[in-house]
Amino acid sequence: MSDELSKLPPQVQERLMRLQQLQQTLQTVLQQKQQVDMEASEIDQTLSELQKTADEAIIYKQAGSLLIKTDKAKVVADLNERKDLLSTRQTVMARQEERMRTQLKDLQNQLQSDLNPVSQSPPS
């Protein structure tokens, strides 16, 4: 395969390498996006459970390997702040994913037009 790759013009080789890099980067972005989505869902579930809890209830917050007694209102405020931050990250990552998919599609189209003459040439 690398022998066939070396027969391609340098411009096409660069596009193929760029395509592979974009695919890997997109995969990383999708994994990060999934992690952010999972954390946001977890926060939503936690906030839902906290709504069912009395305001005077004893709440513990994890800090490293410790559990620290804290105020429900403080926990709710912290979770809402984190939720807002995650929402912003979700928006940014969605834009980044869209931009990368567009770049991939453009690059694939370029490569297809580059390789068409090669694939139509008679076998040696």
Condensed to tens digits (0 to 9), the pLDDT of residues 55-74 reads: 999 999 999 999 999 999 99
Inform me whether the pLDDT recorded for 36 exceeds 70.
yes
Alpha carbons within 13 A on the beta-carbon side of 80? 9
Q: Under a CB-based contact definition with an 8 Å cutoff, are residues 60 and 68 in contact?
A: yes
Residue appearing with tokens 């906290």: 50
8, part of any domain: no
Task: Output the average pLDDT for the chain.
Answer: 90
pTM metric for this prediction: 0.77
23, part of any domain: no
Domain hosting 93: range is 32-113
List 70's β-bridge partners, or say none: 59
**What CATH number should be reported for the domain holding residue 105?**
1.10.287.370
65, part of any domain: yes
Cα distance between the two ends of the chain: 16
47, part of any domain: yes
Total domains in the fold of the chain? 1
25, part of any domain: no
Burial of 19 (0-12, 13-18, 19+ CB in 10 A): middle
